[in-house]
Structure 1
Amino acid sequence: MPLALLALAVAAFGIGTTEFVMMGLLPNVADDLGVTVPTAGHLVSAYAIGVVVGAPLLAAVGVRVPRRRMLIALMGLFTVGNLASALAPDYGTLLAGRVLAGLPHGAFFGVGAVVAARLVREGRQARAVATMFLGLTVANIVGVPGGTALGQQLGWRATFLVVTVIGLAAMAALAALVPHLPPERRDPADAVAGGVGAELRREVRALGNRQVLLGLLTAVFGFAGVFALYSYLASMVTEVTGMAESSVTVVLALFGVGMTLGALAAGPLTDRALRPTLYGALAALALVLVAFRLTVHVPWAAMATVVVIGAVGFMTTTPLQMLVMEKARNAPTLAAASNHSAFNLANAGGAWAGGTAIAAGWGWTSPALVGAGLAVVGLAIAVTAGVLDRGGARRSRVVARGARADANTTDRADAGAGAR
């Protein structure tokens, strides 16, 4: 694998750390800034809002920027957002810093996925994209627990200062290791006719592709199943499993281990069979979420199931990323970036759905069943998309055969006329 993928993984590590570490630092931030923990919780939502807004916006703005320069610029914005968070004098400024840090998240992964796929030969693109995502999964094993522990010992600002340093290191790695890559090739006639405006319209039109929209919907519902459970995992293992609060960090790290295993498996499986990998991951996610409602009562079984949930949940990300890139082949960047907006909508929607079930009095384990239901909805959308895709491909083949038959008939007729 090219060394440039290492630079992308380092950047993904920093992004993953800053996205999830706030969940472990909420009590510290609340105490320091004089707000309640629920109010501090809006800092998690602020980052997600930044992702949802920034992903399509920044990806569209950068359609003609060379890919390495675009990646460095996005990491620069990410670094500034984390530095602003570390130095924030009050809650409002920290809220703004979190939105700023989230803005480049989706666009970076969208551009990064396209770059990763261009760095390797045909048939290994999914493995390259999965390698970049490894940085995100390792962040949940090392970055989030380490950042939480650092923030508890030295203050939450220290955590964001370290993430700022990681951002600077990622920018240096991107500059040194990623080769110069121009924006994706366009139709020369379109480029002359419309310039940047035409390219923006092409990127936006790609989002209107039925298969792209169905892929984004699959991400919203399918991945929401993961976050319906993950958002309340700490409470489940303390309230239901009976584990000590100090063990929560270990459980979250095990979830990260599962994510890493899922990313490692998803690459080669997606290269071999994209849609079956997606179907299998979503079906397995639904089943293991149902199983968790039983295993959560036994500590060792609960921890083992958490690893599996992380694995099958994250196995959906690579095929979904490759699917939208493939179906938006002429304008993949905006579609790939929008996929991360979909993942963050899944984050927010899953957390809301799981919390609603708990608030309704269905019990601490109810988010597992809610998550299973969401995964089934995602699977149904994915299967529907696959059936429609096969039908469209079949019709295209029929039309192509008809066109060839007409051409052959015309050629024979012309030949007969010539003989006469």
Structure 2
Amino acid sequence: MMHPSSDGPTLLSPARIRLALVALALGGFGIGTTEFVAMGLLPNLAADLLPNLAAVSPDAANAQAGWLITAYALGVVVGAPTIAAAAARWPRKQLLLVLLTAFTLGTIASALLPSFGLVLVARFVAALPHGAYFGIASLVAADLMGPGKRARGVAFVLGGLTIANVIGVPAITWLGQHSGWRIAYLAVAVIFVLTFLAVALFVPLQPGNPQATMRNELRAFGRLQVWFALGIGAIGFGGLFAVYTYVAPLVTEITGMPASTVPLVLMVVGLGMVVGNFVGGVLADKSVRRTIYGFFLLMIVALVGLALSAQLLIGLLLGVFLIGASASALSPAIQSRLMDVAHDSQSIAAALNHSALNIGNALGAYLGGVAIAAGFGYLSPIWIGAGLSTIGILLAAGTFGIDRARRMKGLTVPYGTQSVAVVGAGARE
């Protein structure tokens, strides 16, 4: 089957479509690696950038090094809506190339700057393009996939991020443990250079939205259901990151395994994310509501199970696999929900999902660090994560309850709306 291309009347062959999708997913691979590699290298970052504190209290140094993860997450939160709204009119391919250039430069700066404070700033700056890239790449992928496959298009781009957790993060973590964390970040910068070349060669030209303005895009923030959807991701996803941020000390201090086991555990988390992402994409095209409810329940059960069994290697591996799978399955569903309820503000809606998830990243990392610094140990972030995920499912009940009340009154609910027709059929309830 041939798909039309924005390059003109030329039709894209299936091979060209696949290459374009792989190029977009490669960007997700680079982003997933740069975002999550700090989790596995947290003790290395703490020892190198905070040597005095690490000599006195390794736990306190690890907790403070977690700020690097929080800074990255906050950069995503700030950059996603700002760039997506300001650049909604830009041709999508050109915007993706600009964002990849920014990723490359920010990652190189992270590797080369000498002090904790400067690296903290560099991680914030490097994160600014994150949400906008995933948002725009998801719109391009959904257009390439065709009608009725929106969530699967989103999942394909996110698939690069999840595969990064199987291959990229463990490999770069191993490299960082043996050659230094700075070399690890330089290797990530190479991934972004390769992505730039792949996008330039294979992704077809697509216009931006000529009717889009920053004012129109920002109207999404005036809709209550948008705030509910953001809250689901911002709070509920804290369950994943409360665990993932401190996975290295969890492995060594609670399970009692050597540091060389950390890349293996990260790989297991990544495998869970790969499975969950694609399962979630398929299920979200059938029912966003049931996908969100089902996988939040699974994540809560997995978090409680991990807290009770992390002393055993099998308990640790099973727990982190299920947490990664359930959290990753939620991502395309939450993004579909945002795109449904945002109506015509599609660019900002596609990007806001990543702002929300990275608020969860920052929240989980911060609260977990507070608990560890207060002396509650490395199991405490897991219980915090279970609480955050419980709030996430309660917010989901709230937003879908509003839809149900609207249907009972004969009002329109945001499924299959015209506003999402530009990227395929709207997701069903």
Same fold (TM over 0.5): yes
Following superposition, the deviation at residue 273 of structure 1 comes to: 1.0
Identity across matched positions, percent? 45
Contact 1:289–1:372, Cα closer than 8 Å, also in 2: yes
**What is the CA deviation profile of residues 370-403 of structure 1, one whole-angstrom value per residue up to 9, with x for unaligned ones?**
222211111111111011013224434599xxxx
1:147 pairs with 140, 161, 172, which one?
172
- Separation (CA, whole Å) in 2 of partners of 1:29 and 1:363: 20
Paired position in structure 1 for 2:352: 338
Distance 1:313 1:271, change over 3 A: same
Is 1:43 matched up with 2:76?
no
Paired position in structure 1 for 2:3: none
- Separation (CA, whole Å) in 2 of partners of 1:97 and 1:236: 27
Paired position in structure 1 for 2:249: 235
Contact 1:262–1:310, Cα closer than 8 Å, also in 2: yes
Paired position in structure 1 for 2:417: none
Following superposition, the deviation at residue 360 of structure 1 comes to: 5.1
- Separation (CA, whole Å) in 2 of partners of 1:157 and 1:298: 32
Q: Secondary structure at 2:88's aligned position in 1?
A: coil
Following superposition, the deviation at residue 165 of structure 1 comes to: 1.6
Contact 1:59–1:107, Cα closer than 8 Å, also in 2: yes
Amino acid aligned to 2:155: A
Distance 1:46 1:251, change over 3 A: same
- Separation (CA, whole Å) in 2 of partners of 1:234 and 1:10: 26
Contact 2:42–2:248, Cα closer than 8 Å, also in 1: no
Following superposition, the deviation at residue 244 of structure 1 comes to: 2.6
Paired position in structure 1 for 2:23: 7
Paired position in structure 1 for 2:416: none
Following superposition, the deviation at residue 10 of structure 1 comes to: 0.3
Paired position in structure 1 for 2:32: 16
Distance 1:41 1:365, change over 3 A: closer
Following superposition, the deviation at residue 27 of structure 1 comes to: 4.3
1:218 pairs with 232, 254, 258, which one?
232
Unmatched tracts of structure 1, length 5 or more: 187-195, 400-420
Amino acid aligned to 1:204: L
Amino acid aligned to 2:318: A
Matching of residues 240-259 of structure 1 within 5 Å: 240-259=254-273
Q: Secondary structure at 1:316's aligned position in 2?
A: helix
Amino acid aligned to 2:37: V
Following superposition, the deviation at residue 251 of structure 1 comes to: 1.1
TM-score (norm 1): 0.86
Is 1:160 matched up with 2:185?
yes
Contact 2:76–2:355, Cα closer than 8 Å, also in 1: yes
Paired position in structure 2 for 1:25: 41
Q: Secondary structure at 2:404's aligned position in 1?
A: helix
- Separation (CA, whole Å) in 2 of partners of 1:207 and 1:347: 21
1:55 pairs with 80, 84, 89, which one?
80
Q: Secondary structure at 2:204's aligned position in 1?
A: coil
Q: Secondary structure at 1:166's aligned position in 2?
A: helix
Following superposition, the deviation at residue 170 of structure 1 comes to: 0.7
Contact 1:211–1:389, Cα closer than 8 Å, also in 2: no
- Report the RMSD for the aligned CA atoms in angstroms: 2.3
Bigger helix share: 1
Amino acid aligned to 1:266: G
Matching of residues 25-104 of structure 1 within 5 Å: 25-30=41-46, 32=48, 35=51, 36=53, 38=61, 40-104=65-129
Paired position in structure 2 for 1:311: 325
Paired position in structure 2 for 1:302: 316
Amino acid aligned to 2:151: A
Q: Which has the larger radius of gyration?
A: 1
**What is the CA deviation profile of residues 18-46 of structure 1, one whole-angstrom value per residue up to 9, with x for unaligned ones?**
11112333444455556445354433232
Paired position in structure 1 for 2:196: 171
Paired position in structure 1 for 2:301: 287
Paired position in structure 2 for 1:352: 366
**What is the CA deviation profile of residues 298-342 of structure 1, one whole-angstrom value per residue up to 9, with x for unaligned ones?**
222321222111101211111001110121131111122122111
**What is the CA deviation profile of residues 246-280 of structure 1, one whole-angstrom value per residue up to 9, with x for unaligned ones?**
21221121111111110121111011111100110
- Separation (CA, whole Å) in 1 of partners of 2:310 and 2:240: 16
- Separation (CA, whole Å) in 2 of partners of 1:293 and 1:22: 22
Paired position in structure 1 for 2:139: 114
Contact 1:130–1:263, Cα closer than 8 Å, also in 2: yes
Distance 1:279 1:155, change over 3 A: same
Q: State which drifts further: 32-41 or 16-25.
A: 32-41
Contact 1:116–1:132, Cα closer than 8 Å, also in 2: yes
Aligned length: 388
- Separation (CA, whole Å) in 2 of partners of 1:359 and 1:274: 38
Contact 1:219–1:343, Cα closer than 8 Å, also in 2: yes
Distance 1:250 1:378, change over 3 A: same
Distance 1:49 1:370, change over 3 A: closer
- Separation (CA, whole Å) in 1 of partners of 2:46 and 2:385: 29
